[in-house]
Amino acid sequence: MKKRHNILVLSLIMALGIKAAEPQRLILNATESPESAVALTFRFCEKVDTGKVQITENAPDVKLHTRAETLFLTPEIVYTDTAETLAHYVCSSRLRGLKEDTEYAYRAGSGADWSPWYVFKTAKRGFEPFTMIYLGDPQWGYMTYLPRLYDKAVRTAPDAALWYVAGDLVDYPYENWQWDAYFKGAEQVMTRFPHIMAVGNHGYLWAYRNKRDTLPPTWRPHVTQPENGPEGLEETCYYIDYQGVRLIVLNGNERLKDQADWLKQVMKKNKNRWTVVGVHQGFYPCGWERDYPEYRELFVPLFDKYGVSLVLQGHDHAYTRTWPLRGGKIVEDPSKGVTYVISVAGAKQYPIKSKFTDLYAVQKAEGLQYFQTLSFTQDSLVYKSYTVDGECHDKLVIKK
Ligand SMILES: [Fe+2]
Ligand SMILES: [Fe+2]
């Protein structure tokens, strides 16, 4: 009976034109050495013994496959549903030894089945101006409203070096279809731009439901992020230095004190021109009268002391930007304070309701989809927020 079932599934797959060993959920993640390495994660939904990656410098001819270096990977079997019925064969790789400031072509596959060739670029050593994209929560609208946002963001900043997503990638991380839809909807950007991602409270939903406070097994199979944070928080709390900018991502869901201790050490040795922090939960929330005083107590003095320019958050499903703040007070000059932004990319939307918005917000908006660009030069950081139609509705220039 089982054999017959397998034959039926195989016939269906063939009828649909789907290759059994087709690599899915491809994502590029930035590494802590972005000038010489990039991380690539993908999975198969059929059993595969060996996954493969080919990589070579990009070129206009059609012989990339003859020159490419091939890496062989052993897939890790993981389950991303609560019932542990759906096995995934996940390949996580760090492609190292790359040349700086160079365009590479890569593809992933197994046997004779390959993805298309995709192209990305490595970072340059030392300070070099660049632009990055920042998105608030995707979470709803993976295949309906989000693709138009990715498309507009790419048209607005086609050469963005990095994409940062502020957590709550999917609504229910134990629902396999949501990961499928999220990755499918974001394919055009995940395969081309190295991502850094914060984990949101929805990343932890499985754990909360099971009364556990540890990271659920749905996170690490989907991303391959730096492991330079506190022990046990690998791939959720980390930093990267990208062309003279330190980007620090915090995990707002657990062990905040350990992260504050780690952050202090990371900041002391920071020689970068600019520092930006990404975290899911808002320090000055704009929805549902939320308030997380322990976040402010632990981190705000460090952000003030060590010259963080911007804190990029999500979680409240609306848009707010605070005045520059120092010690909880508004300061005039953005270079003398820390600006806190909350944004949302996806279709899940909340109304703004918060004492913090009344006190501190210089700009607020709700009910729309937004994306942001941050452009760094030696003496300025230009921050812009766009609505999904490409209109810039908010802008801040921080001068050094
Ligand atoms: Fe959230
Ligand atoms: Fe959310």
Sign of torsion over alpha carbons 23, 26, 28, 32: negative
Please tell me the predicted confidence (pLDDT) of residue 9: 43
Distances (CA, A) of 87 to 18, 44, 48, 76, 221: 18, 9, 11, 10, 12
Please tell me the CATH code under which domain 130-159+196-399 is placed.
3.60.21.10
The answer on pLDDT for 263 being more than 90 is yes
Looking at residue 16, what is its pLDDT?
47
- Ligand 1 mean position, distance from CA 252 (Å): 10
Give 12's pLDDT tier (boundaries 50, 70, 90). Answer: very low
Ligand 2 centre to CA of 37 (Å) is 31
Cα 262 to its chain centre, rounded Å, is: 21
Locus of tokens 């003095």: 301
pLDDT at 222 over 70: yes
Segment 181-209, tens digit of pLDDT: 999 999 999 999 999 999 999 998 876 66
CA–CA dist 227, 266 (Å, integer): 13
What's the CA gap between 47 and 128, in Å, rounded?
44
206 CA from centroid of ligand 1 (Å): 14
Q: How far apart are CA 46 and CA 32, in angstroms?
A: 32
Q: For residue 13, what pLDDT is reported?
A: 45
More confident residue, 214 or 30: 30
* Confidence class for position 82, pLDDT limits 50, 70, 90: low
Question: What is the Å distance from ligand 1's center to 136 Cα?
Answer: 10
Residue 215's pLDDT band (cuts 50, 70, 90):
confident
CB 340 within 8 A of CB 315: no
Convert the pLDDT of each residue in 116-150 to its tens digit: 999 999 999 999 999 999 999 999 999 999 999 99
Compute the distance between CA of residue 381 and CA of residue 339 in angstroms, rounded to an integer.
12
Q: How far is the CA of 174 from the centre of ligand 1 (A)?
A: 16
Buried b or exposed e, range 317-334, using 16+ CB within 10 angstroms:
bbbbbbbbbeeeeeeeeb
Which among 221, 226, 232, 231 has a CA at the least distance from the CA of 248? Answer: 226
- What is the CATH architecture assignment of 21-121? Sandwich (2.60)
Distance CA 95, CA 70 (A): 11
Q: What's the CA-to-centroid distance between 267 and ligand 2, angstroms?
A: 28
What would the two tokens of residue 359 be? Answer: 């006190």
Residue 20 has pLDDT above 70, yes or no: no
CA dihedral sign of residues 100, 101, 102, 107: positive
User: Domain boundaries in the chain?
Assistant: 21-121, 130-159+196-399
CA of 336 to the centre of ligand 1 (A): 29
Q: In angstroms, what is the span from residue 126 Cα to ligand 1's centroid?
A: 35
How far apart (Å, rounded) are the C-alpha atoms in residues 97 and 107? 17
Ligand nearest to the CA of 292: 1
Distance 291 CA to ligand 1 centre (A): 13
DSSP structure string for 98-141? PPTT-EEEEEEEETTEEPPPEEEEPPPSS---EEEEEE-B-BS-
Token pair in block for residue 346: 């996806």
Predicted pLDDT at 85: 77
Separation of CA 171 and ligand 1 centre (Å): 9
φ, ψ (nearest 5 deg) of residue 298: -80, -40
* Ligand 1 centroid – CA 261 distance (Å): 24
What confidence score (pLDDT) does residue 87 get? 87
Of the candidate ranges 110-114, 146-150, 385-389, the one whose mean pLDDT is the lowest: 110-114
Contact 181, 214 (CB under 8 A): no
Strands 329-330 and 325-326 turn out to be antiparallel
pTM: 0.93
* Cα diameter, the chain: 73
pLDDT of residue 205: 84
If you measure from the C-alpha of residue 337 to the centroid of ligand 2, how many angstroms do you get, rounded to a whole number? Answer: 27
Ligand nearest to the CA of 140: 2
pLDDT in tens, 320-363: 999 999 999 999 999 999 999 999 999 999 999 999 999 999 99
205 CA → ligand 2 middle, Å = 11
Q: Give residue-wise pLDDT tens across range 268-293.
A: 999 999 999 999 999 999 999 999 99
Nearest ligand, measured from the Cα of 201: 1
